[in-house]
Amino acid sequence: MLAGLGLLALLAPAVFAGDTLVATLPWLPAWGLNLSLRLDGLGLLFVLLINGIGFLVVIYAFYYMPDYDPLGRLYLTLLAFAGGMLGVVLAENILLMLLFWEITSLSSFLLIAYKYREKEARIAARMALAVTGGGGLALLAGLILLGQVAGSYELTSILARGDLIRSHSLYPVLLVLILLGAFTKSAQFPFHIWLPNAMAAPTPVSAYLHSATMVKAGVFLLARFYPALAGTDLWFGLVTTTGAITFLMGAYLALLKHDFKGLLAYSTISHLGLITMLLGLSTPLSPVAAVFHIINHAVFKASLFMAAGIIDHECGTRDMRRINGMMKYMPITATLGILAAGAMAGVPFLNGFLSKEMFFAETVAHPALSGSAEFLLPGIATLGGILSAAYSARFVHDVFFNGEPVDLPRTPHEPVRWMRLPVEVLVGLVVAVGLLPNLVVEPLLTVASQAVLQRDLPPFKLAIWHGFNLPLVMSLVALGGGILWYRRRERLFDLHERMPFSWSSPVAFERFYAWATARSRRAMNWLDRQTLRQSILLYLAFTLFLGAWAWGQQSQALAGPLSRTAPSAVGIAGLLVLAVGLAGATALHRQRLTAILFLSVVGLIVSLGFVWLAAPDLALTQLTVEVASIMLLLLALRYLPAEAPVDEPKSRQLRDAAFAGAAGLGVSALCFAMLTRPFETISAYHIANAKALGGGTNVVNVTLVDYRGFDTLGEIAVLAMAALGMQALLSGLVLKPQAGHASTAADRYPIMLRMLMRPLLPLALAVAVYIFLRGHNLPGGGFIAGLVVAIAILLQYVSAGAAFAGARLRLPFVGLLATGLLIATATGAGSWLFSMPFLTSSYTYVTLPIVGKFELATAMLFDFGIFLVVLGTLLIALTELGQLSGREQRAGQQG
């Protein structure tokens, strides 16, 4: 934070000279989202507040938090929150601003729930998140609309197009949405409910969130978009009314709180209402007053919260009926607290007085209401002033004077020096601004207000004495009335006790929350029956509906213009075999072994189909994968009943058949429509440049390891994950093999098979090397080579048993995965060394006997990575299943 302040000091002169600094980094330019930041007067002011008060809060928290608290979590979330706030106030792109806005919502949730073992803290945090998060959603919609209307998501252009925005037909909608975001964050009526509850957070957090940051984000938003949105009747009506209601209600309720942190919370709401009201007034000087009050409120409220925290810390309670006469026990803290509370009440020579008087002056100067309503705004202002003075008086009198403390858990005394220091600094500012406003705050106020208005300011004068005028009278009335009001408080408390105030209490919110969760749960249960089949059926029905609907929307014939080829005899024969395989696998799916055999028929036909479709790479891959899959399924069958019973009604089978038929028909239609339509491919480029760019002629392989190498890297990573996942799933699992399986056979490893298979391994390895090396130019490559080697090794397992083969191979399978991924990634990263993009390949020619001349490309190294991963995956998959039986045998021997 100090670093941030230092950086700010470097940039500040330019801002004071009137510049707006903008730095842009394109992020998702297609969506209008750029990582662009701006620093203008308003941003500067907020950065000062966030970093300055943040720094003081960090010091304060160190002494405030109990010794057993590790503090790490607090600082982490606090700084994350501060970072989010800085992002909000410095964002140039409004979508970026929203992103940071959400970060503040989330991190404030964590901060409020800091004492997560207490139920109140959890409920309070949930409420804050629900309210501000909901507002964030509204804000998202509002900002997107704003960006669409203004034609840009960059603030500079938006602020320059205020007239366009205000005259647009969507203006009311986007205004209401953006205001929702601002009001929820700034705790404006009726969204204020979350703020008093958020007092469940530790006091340093409250001091930070409710003085300078979180709640100020809302008014910041209003100030930021002031040139673009303000000035209309709608703005005046919504913003001023909300502000006025919040101002009065907060002040009224603050007086009634016995918990002094609660009092401060409601006074925060009230002051935010005041600022909002000022921004709504839209007189020439009202934004200046608003900015001024933002500064003043941040300073005195942070110091008040910290002083309150000290008292709480020393007394062990926050009840003002028990804490009395603190002046005697901690005179210095008491003096600081009295000064800050005086600023809150608007006592002359303190900073709150100046901005409050500006506020009074603006309500008088506002031209909108005339005649009998002329006194409405000044009346509201004065009434609010009276109430503010009253609760400030209560805070000062009850806590610091009013006799002796009642029944405190411990005897209070002055806190350690460093804990009081932040309060001293802030109260020093309160007095300095109050006495010498021109010197201390005027330059900052001027640039910040200019940034709000985006034009030069009308002349204004900061002074304590403006002559004897109406605002001064209002101030005096407010102070005098406040003290009177406070003296009659007993009657008010009685009145309050008798009034049912449930509508403003969190009870209403909780009831709504419970209702909403129950409803969503019911809807969720209705949609998601928690059975896979229901979900699949639902999904299938919806897809079919979409397909049928789209088909109904257009009028083209199913068959396209492409001329058709005549069916060949071989093709028909192949398809007949396919049909038999499918029918067998489907009809006999209960006889599981038979079904697997039929399945392999289908796989074989698909492989042959790949050959027929001029895809030899695919045919090779399919063939080898087929072998591995069948082995896998056969192994699994060891533990499953060989025959499944019929346990479902005929009607369900028929219903599923209808769905399946419809799905098949749909895919057929889709396929036919596709096949009979012409298309354009991007492959011409791939084919033409395979040799020049990728160093190989087998375009499929070049595509895999070069053009789309990044995809392939992702894919082998997925493969490795599947293998590891499988290992995790099967670890420690003990299953009993089903009766009647091979394990009970007399001759487990037939000698013929064993003798035949053993010489196969080196042969297969040689073939694999051959396939691998030629893969770049002719069908082959890492995928296929990996499959071939894996199957050759697995055959050793099958023929000679896991114990025999495993003992001789000693391959670390997981290590294969890791090495493969590492090699592939390192190959890709290697091109960075030559300042080329990730996975750029280069190659040279090498000649080996027998294999002939071939390229040694970096792509080949990548291919080797693929080879290792494929090999590792297959070996893990099959040996894990195989080991299940070994494990179960061992378990049996022990048992």
Partner 1 sequence: MELLLSLAVGLTIACGVWLVLRPRTFSVILGLTLIGYAVNVLILLSGRLGAQMPPISQKGATGLADPLPQALVLTAIVIGFGMTAYLVALSLRALGESGDDRLDNQDRNPADADPEA
Footprint (CB under 8 A) of partner 1, residues 711-750 = 711-712, 715, 718-719, 722-723, 725-726, 729-730, 733-735
- Using CB under 8 A, which of 76, 369, 687, 756 touches partner 1? 687
Neighbours of 7 (CB within 10 A): 13
Task: Please state, in angstroms and as integers, the Cα–Cα distance from residue 257 to each residue in 248, 317, 402, following that order.
Answer: 15, 14, 17
Name the residue nearer to partner 1 (CB basis): 172 or 641.
641
Residues in CB range of 178: below 8 A, 6 or more apart? 138, 139, 142, 143, 146, 221, 225, 229
| Contact set for partner 1, span 773-792 (CB under 8 A) | 777-779, 783, 787
The owner of tokens 């056969």 is 634
| Contact set for partner 1, span 797-836 (CB under 8 A) | none
Minimum CB separation from partner 1 for residue 534, in Å? 8
Name the residue nearer to partner 1 (CB basis): 16 or 513.
513
Name the residue nearer to partner 1 (CB basis): 314 or 617.
617
| Contact set for partner 1, span 464-523 (CB under 8 A) | 517, 521
Minimum CB separation from partner 1 for residue 851, in Å? 17
| Contact set for partner 1, span 641-680 (CB under 8 A) | 641, 644, 647-648, 656-657, 659-661, 663-672, 674-676, 679
Nearest to 272 by CA among 344, 203, 218: 218
Residue 492 in contact with residue 255, Cβ under 8 Å? yes
Minimum CB separation from partner 1 for residue 706, in Å? 10
Name the residue nearer to partner 1 (CB basis): 157 or 653.
653
Q: Is 428 exposed, middle or buried (0-12, 13-18, 19+ CB in 10 A)?
A: middle
- Using CB under 8 A, which of 24, 156, 504, 697 touches partner 1? 697
Name the residue nearer to partner 1 (CB basis): 95 or 874.
874
Minimum CB separation from partner 1 for residue 156, in Å? 43
Neighbours of 231 (CB within 10 A): 14
| Contact set for partner 1, span 61-120 (CB under 8 A) | 119
Beta bridge partners of 877: none
Nearest to 205 by CA among 65, 322, 345, 316: 65
- Using CB under 8 A, which of 504, 629, 819, 825 touches partner 1? 629
- Using CB under 8 A, which of 115, 258, 313, 691 touches partner 1? 691
| Contact set for partner 1, span 308-337 (CB under 8 A) | none
CA dist., res. 813 & res. 549, Å (int): 50
Minimum CB separation from partner 1 for residue 780, in Å? 11
CA dist., res. 701 & res. 741, Å (int): 42
| Contact set for partner 1, span 587-626 (CB under 8 A) | 589, 592, 595-596, 599, 602-603, 606, 609-610, 613-618, 621-622, 625
Q: How many CA atoms lie within 13 A of 703 on its CB side?
A: 12
Q: Total binding residues for partner 1 by CB under 8 A?
A: 120
Name the residue nearer to partner 1 (CB basis): 357 or 626.
626
Beta bridge partners of 855: 845
Task: Dihedral sign for Cα 75, 76, 79, 81, please.
Answer: negative
- Using CB under 8 A, which of 245, 281, 699, 868 touches partner 1? 699
CA dist., res. 207 & res. 204, Å (int): 5
Minimum CB separation from partner 1 for residue 710, in Å? 12
Nearest to 846 by CA among 744, 755, 745, 773: 773
Beta bridge partners of 857: 843
Q: Determine if the peptide bond prior to 190 is cis (ω within 30°).
A: yes
Task: Please state, in angstroms and as integers, the Cα–Cα distance from residue 129 to each residue in 50, 316, 364, following that order.
Answer: 21, 29, 38
| Contact set for partner 1, span 526-545 (CB under 8 A) | 530-533, 536-537, 540
Name the residue nearer to partner 1 (CB basis): 168 or 691.
691
Name the residue nearer to partner 1 (CB basis): 693 or 753.
693
Residue 841 in contact with residue 596, Cβ under 8 Å? no
Residues in CB range of 12: below 8 A, 6 or more apart? 44
Name the residue nearer to partner 1 (CB basis): 156 or 591.
591
Name the residue nearer to partner 1 (CB basis): 453 or 884.
884
Q: Is 194 exposed, middle or buried (0-12, 13-18, 19+ CB in 10 A)?
A: buried
Minimum CB separation from partner 1 for residue 786, in Å? 9
Task: Dihedral sign for Cα 237, 240, 243, 248, please.
Answer: negative
Does 634 participate in binding partner 1 (rule CB under 8 A)?
no
Name the residue nearer to partner 1 (CB basis): 476 or 687.
687
CA dist., res. 805 & res. 795, Å (int): 9
Q: How many CA atoms lie within 13 A of 165 on its CB side?
A: 31
The 199-238 site mask, x for binding partner 1 (CB under 8 A), equals ----------------------------------------
Task: Please state, in angstroms and as integers, the Cα–Cα distance from residue 224 to each residue in 84, 289, 470, 781, following that order.
Answer: 16, 15, 31, 59
Minimum CB separation from partner 1 for residue 836, in Å? 22
Q: Which stretch in 140-148, 315-323, 627-635, 825-833 sits in contact with partner 1 by CB under 8 A?
A: 627-635
Residue 716 in contact with residue 870, Cβ under 8 Å? yes
- Using CB under 8 A, which of 3, 499, 682, 807 touches partner 1? 682
CA dist., res. 751 & res. 370, Å (int): 109
Q: Which stretch in 29-37, 279-287, 410-418, 558-566 sits in contact with partner 1 by CB under 8 A?
A: 558-566
Does 548 participate in binding partner 1 (rule CB under 8 A)?
no
Minimum CB separation from partner 1 for residue 501, in Å? 23
- Using CB under 8 A, which of 52, 114, 126, 433 touches partner 1? 126
Q: Count how many residues are written for the chain.
A: 895
| Contact set for partner 1, span 834-893 (CB under 8 A) | 870, 873-874, 877, 880-881, 884
Minimum CB separation from partner 1 for residue 770, in Å? 17
Minimum CB separation from partner 1 for residue 847, in Å? 20
- Using CB under 8 A, which of 370, 372, 554, 565 touches partner 1? 565
Query: For 563, which DSSP code?
Result: P
CA dist., res. 735 & res. 803, Å (int): 19
Q: Which stretch in 69-77, 449-457, 465-473, 636-644 sits in contact with partner 1 by CB under 8 A?
A: 636-644
Query: For 566, which DSSP code?
Result: P
Does 708 participate in binding partner 1 (rule CB under 8 A)?
yes
